[in-house]
Chain A
Protein backbone atom coordinates (compact mmCIF):
# COMPACT_ATOMS: atom_id res chain seq x y z
CA UNK A 1 0.00 0.00 0.00
CA UNK A 2 1.41 3.37 -0.89
CA UNK A 3 1.73 6.39 1.37
CA UNK A 4 -1.30 7.94 -0.38
CA UNK A 5 -3.45 4.93 0.34
CA UNK A 6 -2.25 4.83 3.95
CA UNK A 7 -3.24 8.45 4.37
CA UNK A 8 -6.61 7.67 2.87
CA UNK A 9 -7.37 4.95 5.41
CA UNK A 10 -8.79 6.98 8.27
CA UNK A 11 -10.72 4.12 9.86
CA UNK A 12 -10.27 4.26 13.63
CA UNK A 13 -9.79 0.93 15.37
CA UNK A 14 -10.73 0.51 19.00
CA UNK A 15 -10.67 -2.38 21.42
CA UNK A 16 -14.06 -3.70 22.34
CA UNK A 17 -15.34 -3.07 25.84
CA UNK A 18 -15.53 -5.96 28.30
CA UNK A 19 -12.24 -7.57 27.44
CA UNK A 20 -9.81 -9.09 29.92
CA UNK A 21 -6.29 -8.72 28.58
CA UNK A 22 -2.90 -9.77 29.89
CA UNK A 23 0.11 -8.46 27.98
CA UNK A 24 3.59 -9.68 28.71
CA UNK A 25 6.40 -8.76 26.35
CA UNK A 26 5.57 -10.18 22.95
CA UNK A 27 2.46 -12.07 24.03
CA UNK A 28 -1.10 -10.98 24.61
CA UNK A 29 -3.85 -13.17 26.07
CA UNK A 30 -7.42 -11.99 25.57
CA UNK A 31 -10.79 -13.17 26.87
CA UNK A 32 -14.08 -11.66 25.72
CA UNK A 33 -15.99 -11.32 28.97
CA UNK A 34 -19.25 -11.28 27.05
CA UNK A 35 -18.39 -14.74 25.64
CA UNK A 36 -16.70 -16.36 28.65
CA UNK A 37 -17.16 -19.88 27.31
CA UNK A 38 -14.76 -19.21 24.45
CA UNK A 39 -11.12 -20.20 24.90
CA UNK A 40 -8.65 -17.39 25.56
CA UNK A 41 -7.18 -15.83 22.42
CA UNK A 42 -3.38 -15.70 22.28
CA UNK A 43 -1.52 -13.20 20.11
CA UNK A 44 2.23 -13.31 19.78
CA UNK A 45 4.98 -11.78 17.67
CA UNK A 46 3.71 -9.29 15.10
CA UNK A 47 0.09 -10.04 16.05
CA UNK A 48 0.83 -8.82 19.57
CA UNK A 49 2.62 -5.80 18.14
CA UNK A 50 -0.42 -4.84 16.05
CA UNK A 51 -2.65 -5.27 19.10
CA UNK A 52 -0.41 -3.02 21.18
CA UNK A 53 -0.87 -0.23 18.62
CA UNK A 54 -4.66 -0.29 19.02
CA UNK A 55 -4.52 0.95 22.61
CA UNK A 56 -6.72 4.00 23.06
CA UNK A 57 -8.17 3.86 19.55
CA UNK A 58 -6.02 4.76 16.55
CA UNK A 59 -6.44 5.17 12.85
CA UNK A 60 -5.30 2.40 10.52
CA UNK A 61 -2.85 4.89 9.08
CA UNK A 62 -1.27 5.56 12.49
CA UNK A 63 -1.12 1.86 13.33
CA UNK A 64 0.64 1.05 10.06
CA UNK A 65 3.04 3.98 10.46
CA UNK A 66 4.01 2.77 13.93
CA UNK A 67 4.58 -0.77 12.69
CA UNK A 68 6.63 0.36 9.70
CA UNK A 69 8.93 1.99 12.25
CA UNK A 70 9.22 -1.22 14.23
CA UNK A 71 9.48 -3.88 11.52
CA UNK A 72 11.44 -4.39 8.34
CA UNK A 73 9.36 -4.70 5.20
CA UNK A 74 7.75 -2.73 2.44
CA UNK A 75 5.15 -0.31 3.84
CA UNK A 76 2.47 -1.44 1.40
CA UNK A 77 2.97 -5.09 2.35
CA UNK A 78 2.82 -4.24 6.04
CA UNK A 79 -0.30 -2.13 5.46
CA UNK A 80 -2.03 -5.02 3.68
CA UNK A 81 -1.19 -7.51 6.40
CA UNK A 82 -2.18 -5.13 9.17
CA UNK A 83 -5.47 -4.37 7.49
CA UNK A 84 -6.26 -8.06 7.08
CA UNK A 85 -5.39 -8.77 10.67
CA UNK A 86 -7.41 -5.86 12.06
CA UNK A 87 -10.47 -7.08 10.17
CA UNK A 88 -9.90 -10.58 11.51
CA UNK A 89 -9.80 -9.27 15.06
CA UNK A 90 -13.00 -7.38 14.30
CA UNK A 91 -14.61 -10.64 13.15
CA UNK A 92 -13.45 -12.28 16.36
CA UNK A 93 -15.15 -9.53 18.34
CA UNK A 94 -12.16 -7.98 20.05
CA UNK A 95 -11.83 -4.85 17.89
CA UNK A 96 -14.37 -2.42 16.54
CA UNK A 97 -13.95 0.30 13.93
CA UNK A 98 -15.32 3.73 13.22
CA UNK A 99 -15.20 4.97 9.65
Chain B
Protein backbone atom coordinates (compact mmCIF):
# COMPACT_ATOMS: atom_id res chain seq x y z
CA UNK B 1 0.00 0.00 0.00
CA UNK B 2 1.33 3.45 -0.81
CA UNK B 3 1.26 6.49 1.50
CA UNK B 4 -1.39 7.96 -0.82
CA UNK B 5 -3.81 5.24 0.18
CA UNK B 6 -3.03 5.68 3.86
CA UNK B 7 -3.78 9.38 3.48
CA UNK B 8 -7.40 8.36 3.22
CA UNK B 9 -7.39 8.22 7.01
CA UNK B 10 -9.15 11.31 8.25
CA UNK B 11 -7.99 13.48 11.12
CA UNK B 12 -11.08 12.41 13.09
CA UNK B 13 -10.07 8.77 12.71
CA UNK B 14 -6.37 9.37 13.10
CA UNK B 15 -6.21 10.95 16.56
CA UNK B 16 -7.89 8.19 18.61
CA UNK B 17 -6.15 5.46 16.59
CA UNK B 18 -2.76 7.04 17.13
CA UNK B 19 -3.30 7.56 20.85
CA UNK B 20 -4.16 3.85 21.08
CA UNK B 21 -0.95 2.96 19.21
CA UNK B 22 1.25 5.12 21.45
CA UNK B 23 -0.35 3.74 24.61
CA UNK B 24 0.03 0.13 23.46
CA UNK B 25 3.66 0.63 22.51
CA UNK B 26 4.50 2.50 25.71
CA UNK B 27 2.95 -0.21 27.83
CA UNK B 28 4.79 -2.93 25.90
CA UNK B 29 8.06 -1.05 26.45
CA UNK B 30 7.27 -0.23 30.10
CA UNK B 31 7.45 3.50 29.47
CA UNK B 32 5.22 6.01 31.22
CA UNK B 33 3.20 8.09 28.77
CA UNK B 34 -0.06 9.99 29.19
CA UNK B 35 -2.36 11.10 26.38
CA UNK B 36 -3.08 14.79 26.85
CA UNK B 37 -5.61 17.14 25.24
CA UNK B 38 -7.23 16.04 21.97
CA UNK B 39 -9.76 13.21 22.02
CA UNK B 40 -9.15 12.40 25.72
CA UNK B 41 -10.39 15.86 26.61
CA UNK B 42 -13.61 15.20 24.70
CA UNK B 43 -14.11 11.82 26.37
CA UNK B 44 -13.73 13.50 29.76
CA UNK B 45 -16.47 15.95 28.79
CA UNK B 46 -14.29 19.05 28.81
CA UNK B 47 -14.65 19.76 25.11
CA UNK B 48 -16.68 18.71 22.09
CA UNK B 49 -15.04 16.18 19.76
CA UNK B 50 -13.26 17.74 16.80
CA UNK B 51 -10.54 16.89 14.29
CA UNK B 52 -6.93 17.24 15.40
CA UNK B 53 -3.89 17.92 13.26
CA UNK B 54 -1.70 16.28 15.86
CA UNK B 55 -1.88 14.30 19.07
CA UNK B 56 -0.13 15.27 22.29
CA UNK B 57 1.45 12.86 24.69
CA UNK B 58 3.35 13.64 27.88
CA UNK B 59 6.20 11.27 28.70
CA UNK B 60 7.95 10.93 32.04
CA UNK B 61 10.94 13.26 31.45
CA UNK B 62 13.41 10.41 31.87
CA UNK B 63 11.45 8.31 29.35
CA UNK B 64 11.19 10.89 26.55
CA UNK B 65 14.22 9.72 24.55
CA UNK B 66 13.05 6.12 24.84
CA UNK B 67 9.54 7.11 23.72
CA UNK B 68 10.93 8.88 20.64
CA UNK B 69 13.15 5.86 19.88
CA UNK B 70 10.15 3.56 20.35
CA UNK B 71 8.15 5.52 17.77
CA UNK B 72 11.13 5.69 15.39
CA UNK B 73 11.26 1.90 15.56
CA UNK B 74 7.78 1.76 14.04
CA UNK B 75 8.36 4.25 11.27
CA UNK B 76 8.04 7.69 12.83
CA UNK B 77 10.69 10.38 12.34
CA UNK B 78 11.55 13.67 14.00
CA UNK B 79 10.10 16.68 12.22
CA UNK B 80 12.18 19.67 11.31
CA UNK B 81 12.83 21.80 14.39
CA UNK B 82 12.13 25.50 14.19
CA UNK B 83 15.14 27.80 14.53
CA UNK B 84 12.89 30.72 15.52
CA UNK B 85 13.47 32.01 19.07
CA UNK B 86 10.89 31.20 21.72
CA UNK B 87 10.07 32.82 25.03
CA UNK B 88 9.53 29.45 26.71
CA UNK B 89 11.95 26.51 26.46
CA UNK B 90 11.19 23.82 23.84
CA UNK B 91 8.74 21.43 25.42
CA UNK B 92 8.12 18.71 22.86
CA UNK B 93 9.47 16.65 20.00
CA UNK B 94 7.34 16.56 16.88
CA UNK B 95 7.13 13.23 15.04
CA UNK B 96 5.87 12.50 11.53
CA UNK B 97 4.98 9.41 9.52
CA UNK B 98 4.03 9.30 5.82
CA UNK B 99 1.20 6.85 6.51
CA UNK B 100 -0.53 9.21 8.91
CA UNK B 101 -2.00 12.66 8.19
CA UNK B 102 -1.30 13.90 11.71
CA UNK B 103 1.82 14.30 13.83
CA UNK B 104 2.73 13.37 17.39
CA UNK B 105 3.86 16.04 19.84
CA UNK B 106 5.80 14.17 22.50
CA UNK B 107 6.15 16.48 25.49
CA UNK B 108 8.60 16.14 28.36
CA UNK B 109 6.94 18.98 30.24
CA UNK B 110 3.92 21.20 29.78
CA UNK B 111 4.42 24.99 29.78
CA UNK B 112 2.68 26.80 32.61
CA UNK B 113 3.45 24.18 35.25
CA UNK B 114 6.38 25.91 36.93
CA UNK B 115 7.35 23.05 39.26
CA UNK B 116 10.18 20.75 38.06
CA UNK B 117 9.02 18.54 35.15
CA UNK B 118 9.59 15.34 37.15
CA UNK B 119 7.38 16.58 39.98
CA UNK B 120 4.68 17.71 37.53
CA UNK B 121 4.70 14.37 35.74
CA UNK B 122 4.43 12.48 39.03
CA UNK B 123 1.47 14.64 40.05
CA UNK B 124 -0.19 13.94 36.70
CA UNK B 125 0.67 10.23 36.86
CA UNK B 126 -0.97 10.03 40.29
CA UNK B 127 -4.11 11.44 38.70
CA UNK B 128 -4.10 9.11 35.67
CA UNK B 129 -7.24 7.39 34.53
CA UNK B 130 -8.08 5.08 31.64
CA UNK B 131 -10.29 6.19 28.77
CA UNK B 132 -11.30 4.20 25.72
CA UNK B 133 -10.10 5.60 22.40
CA UNK B 134 -10.65 3.65 19.18
CA UNK B 135 -11.94 0.82 21.36
CA UNK B 136 -8.60 0.51 23.15
CA UNK B 137 -7.50 1.62 26.63
CA UNK B 138 -5.46 4.81 26.84
CA UNK B 139 -3.96 6.37 29.98
CA UNK B 140 -4.69 10.05 30.44
CA UNK B 141 -4.81 12.58 33.30
CA UNK B 142 -8.18 12.67 35.03
CA UNK B 143 -10.71 15.46 34.59
CA UNK B 144 -9.22 17.69 37.30
CA UNK B 145 -5.67 17.53 35.93
CA UNK B 146 -6.88 17.72 32.35
CA UNK B 147 -8.87 20.87 33.06
CA UNK B 148 -5.60 22.45 34.25
CA UNK B 149 -3.71 21.28 31.13
CA UNK B 150 -6.40 22.52 28.76
CA UNK B 151 -6.62 25.88 30.51
CA UNK B 152 -2.84 26.38 30.45
CA UNK B 153 -2.81 25.56 26.74
CA UNK B 154 -5.54 28.09 25.98
CA UNK B 155 -3.95 30.77 28.16
CA UNK B 156 -0.55 30.25 26.51
CA UNK B 157 -1.68 30.07 22.92
CA UNK B 158 -4.24 32.79 23.32
CA UNK B 159 -5.48 34.22 20.04
CA UNK B 160 -7.79 37.13 20.84
CA UNK B 161 -10.29 36.29 18.13
CA UNK B 162 -11.08 32.75 19.29
CA UNK B 163 -9.50 31.72 22.56
CA UNK B 164 -11.43 33.98 24.93
CA UNK B 165 -14.46 32.08 23.77
CA UNK B 166 -12.67 28.72 24.04
CA UNK B 167 -11.56 29.50 27.58
CA UNK B 168 -15.07 30.55 28.48
CA UNK B 169 -16.40 27.25 27.08
CA UNK B 170 -13.80 25.32 29.07
CA UNK B 171 -14.81 27.19 32.23
CA UNK B 172 -18.45 26.29 31.56
CA UNK B 173 -17.60 22.62 30.98
CA UNK B 174 -15.38 22.48 34.05
CA UNK B 175 -18.04 24.15 36.20
CA UNK B 176 -20.56 21.60 34.97
CA UNK B 177 -18.44 18.46 35.28
CA UNK B 178 -16.24 19.14 38.33
CA UNK B 179 -17.73 18.73 41.80
CA UNK B 180 -16.94 21.08 44.68
CA UNK B 181 -14.46 18.46 45.90
CA UNK B 182 -12.89 18.33 42.41
CA UNK B 183 -12.50 22.11 42.41
CA UNK B 184 -10.72 21.93 45.78
CA UNK B 185 -8.44 19.29 44.29
CA UNK B 186 -7.84 21.49 41.24
CA UNK B 187 -6.60 24.28 43.53
CA UNK B 188 -4.33 21.82 45.38
CA UNK B 189 -3.09 20.36 42.09
CA UNK B 190 -2.27 23.84 40.80
CA UNK B 191 -0.26 24.55 43.98
CA UNK B 192 1.67 21.28 43.80
CA UNK B 193 2.54 21.73 40.11
CA UNK B 194 3.47 25.40 40.41
CA UNK B 195 0.53 26.54 38.32
CA UNK B 196 -1.44 28.47 40.92
CA UNK B 197 -0.53 31.80 39.31
CA UNK B 198 -0.42 30.79 35.66
CA UNK B 199 -3.85 29.21 36.04
CA UNK B 200 -5.10 32.27 37.91
CA UNK B 201 -7.63 33.49 35.32
CA UNK B 202 -9.10 29.98 35.03
CA UNK B 203 -9.31 29.40 38.78
CA UNK B 204 -10.86 32.82 39.33
CA UNK B 205 -13.44 32.17 36.62
CA UNK B 206 -14.37 29.03 38.57
CA UNK B 207 -14.77 31.06 41.73
CA UNK B 208 -11.50 29.94 43.30
CA UNK B 209 -8.61 32.17 44.29
CA UNK B 210 -5.42 32.11 42.28
CA UNK B 211 -2.31 31.43 44.33
CA UNK B 212 1.05 33.04 44.73
CA UNK B 213 4.49 32.15 43.42
CA UNK B 214 6.17 29.91 45.95
CA UNK B 215 8.75 27.66 44.31
CA UNK B 216 12.43 28.44 43.82
CA UNK B 217 13.06 29.88 40.37
CA UNK B 218 9.38 30.33 39.72
CA UNK B 219 9.65 34.13 39.50
CA UNK B 220 11.90 33.99 36.43
CA UNK B 221 9.72 31.31 34.81
CA UNK B 222 6.63 33.32 35.57
CA UNK B 223 8.16 36.39 33.93
CA UNK B 224 8.79 34.35 30.75
CA UNK B 225 5.27 32.96 30.93
CA UNK B 226 3.74 36.42 31.33
CA UNK B 227 5.76 37.73 28.41
CA UNK B 228 4.67 34.75 26.31
CA UNK B 229 0.96 35.04 27.07
CA UNK B 230 0.88 38.80 26.52
CA UNK B 231 2.89 38.88 23.27
CA UNK B 232 2.15 37.78 19.75
CA UNK B 233 4.39 34.84 18.85
CA UNK B 234 6.07 36.81 16.08
CA UNK B 235 7.34 39.37 18.59
CA UNK B 236 9.78 36.83 20.02
CA UNK B 237 12.27 37.96 17.37
CA UNK B 238 12.18 41.46 18.88
CA UNK B 239 12.88 40.06 22.36
CA UNK B 240 15.71 38.02 20.87
CA UNK B 241 17.19 41.22 19.42
CA UNK B 242 16.82 42.96 22.76
CA UNK B 243 18.83 40.31 24.56
CA UNK B 244 21.57 40.10 21.89
CA UNK B 245 24.59 42.34 21.31
CA UNK B 246 24.27 44.85 18.46
CA UNK B 247 26.83 43.01 16.32
CA UNK B 248 24.46 39.99 16.12
CA UNK B 249 21.49 42.05 14.96
CA UNK B 250 22.10 41.87 11.19
CA UNK B 251 22.33 38.08 11.31
CA UNK B 252 19.21 37.79 13.49
CA UNK B 253 17.18 40.17 11.32
CA UNK B 254 18.26 38.28 8.21
CA UNK B 255 17.12 34.99 9.76
CA UNK B 256 13.85 36.49 11.03
CA UNK B 257 12.96 37.76 7.57
CA UNK B 258 14.17 34.77 5.59
CA UNK B 259 13.41 31.48 7.29
CA UNK B 260 14.28 28.46 5.16
CA UNK B 261 11.67 27.13 2.74
CA UNK B 262 11.30 24.02 4.90
CA UNK B 263 10.60 26.08 8.01
CA UNK B 264 8.09 28.26 6.20
CA UNK B 265 6.38 25.17 4.81
CA UNK B 266 6.34 23.34 8.16
CA UNK B 267 5.49 26.11 10.60
CA UNK B 268 3.79 28.84 8.61
CA UNK B 269 2.18 27.26 5.54
CA UNK B 270 -1.57 27.05 5.26
CA UNK B 271 -3.45 24.41 3.30
CA UNK B 272 -2.39 24.60 -0.32
CA UNK B 273 -0.78 27.97 0.24
CA UNK B 274 2.27 28.89 -1.87
CA UNK B 275 5.57 29.48 -0.10
CA UNK B 276 5.64 33.09 -1.26
CA UNK B 277 2.18 33.73 0.07
CA UNK B 278 3.02 32.08 3.40
CA UNK B 279 6.17 34.23 3.65
CA UNK B 280 4.24 37.42 2.96
CA UNK B 281 1.54 36.50 5.48
CA UNK B 282 4.15 35.71 8.13
CA UNK B 283 6.05 38.96 7.53
CA UNK B 284 2.88 41.04 7.59
CA UNK B 285 1.93 39.50 10.94
CA UNK B 286 5.46 40.03 12.22
CA UNK B 287 5.55 43.70 11.24
CA UNK B 288 2.19 44.30 12.92
CA UNK B 289 3.60 43.03 16.22
CA UNK B 290 6.73 45.21 16.11
CA UNK B 291 5.36 48.38 17.82
CA UNK B 292 3.92 46.50 20.81
CA UNK B 293 6.97 44.28 21.25
CA UNK B 294 9.34 47.22 20.84
CA UNK B 295 7.41 49.15 23.50
CA UNK B 296 7.50 46.17 25.89
CA UNK B 297 11.19 45.75 25.26
CA UNK B 298 11.86 49.48 25.81
CA UNK B 299 9.90 49.36 29.08
CA UNK B 300 11.80 46.30 30.25
CA UNK B 301 15.16 47.87 29.39
CA UNK B 302 14.16 51.13 31.10
CA UNK B 303 13.19 49.22 34.24
CA UNK B 304 16.51 47.36 34.22
CA UNK B 305 18.37 50.66 33.76
CA UNK B 306 16.53 52.30 36.65
CA UNK B 307 17.23 49.36 38.91
CA UNK B 308 20.89 49.43 37.95
CA UNK B 309 21.37 53.17 38.33
CA UNK B 310 19.09 53.90 41.25
CA UNK B 311 20.05 51.67 44.11
CA UNK B 312 18.74 53.01 47.41
CA UNK B 313 21.22 52.49 50.21
Q: Kindly state the separation between the CA atoms of A39 and B8 in the bound complex, as whole angstroms.
A: 11
Query: Which residues of B does A touch, CB under 8 Å?
Result: 1, 3, 5-6, 8-10, 12-14, 16-17, 20-21, 24-25, 73-75, 99-100, 133-136
Contact B24 A18 (CB under 8 A): yes
Nearest chain A CB to B5's CB is how many angstroms away?
7
Nearest chain A CB to B12's CB is how many angstroms away?
7
Residues of B within 8 A of A21 (CB): 134-135
List the 5 closest A-B pairs by CB distance, nearest first. A20-B20, A20-B134, A39-B99, A39-B6, A37-B74
Is A99 interfacial (CB-CB < 8 Å)? Answer: no
Is A22 interfacial (CB-CB < 8 Å)? Answer: yes
Nearest chain A CB to B286's CB is how many angstroms away?
38
Contact A24 B13 (CB under 8 A): yes
Q: Kindly state the separation between the CA atoms of A22 and B17 in the bound complex, as whole angstroms.
A: 7
Contact A31 B21 (CB under 8 A): yes
Nearest chain B CB to A29's CB is how many angstroms away?
4
Contact B20 A24 (CB under 8 A): no
Main secondary structure of the interface of A (DSSP, over half): strand
- Number of contacting residues on A, CB 8 A? 15
Residues of A within 8 A of B21 (CB): 20, 31, 33, 36
Contact B99 A40 (CB under 8 A): yes
Nearest chain B CB to A48's CB is how many angstroms away?
12
Contact A20 B136 (CB under 8 A): yes
Residues of B within 8 A of A22 (CB): 12-13, 16-17, 134-135
Contact B134 A31 (CB under 8 A): yes
The listed residue (A18, A33, A37, A40) touching B13 by CB distance below 8 A is: A40
Nearest chain B CB to A92's CB is how many angstroms away?
11
Q: Kindly state the separation between the CA atoms of A20 and B20 in the bound complex, as whole angstroms.
A: 6
Q: Which chain A residues (26-81) contact chain B, with CB distance < 8 Å?
A: 27, 29, 31, 33, 36-37, 39-40, 42
Q: Kindly state the separation between the CA atoms of A31 and B24 in the bound complex, as whole angstroms.
A: 11
Contact B20 A33 (CB under 8 A): yes
Residues of A within 8 A of B12 (CB): 22, 24
Q: Which chain A residues (1-23) contact chain B, with CB distance < 8 Å?
A: 18-22
Nearest chain B CB to A94's CB is how many angstroms away?
12
Contact B134 A42 (CB under 8 A): no
Residues of A within 8 A of B133 (CB): 20
Q: Kindly state the separation between the CA atoms of A82 and B21 in the bound complex, as whole angstroms.
A: 29
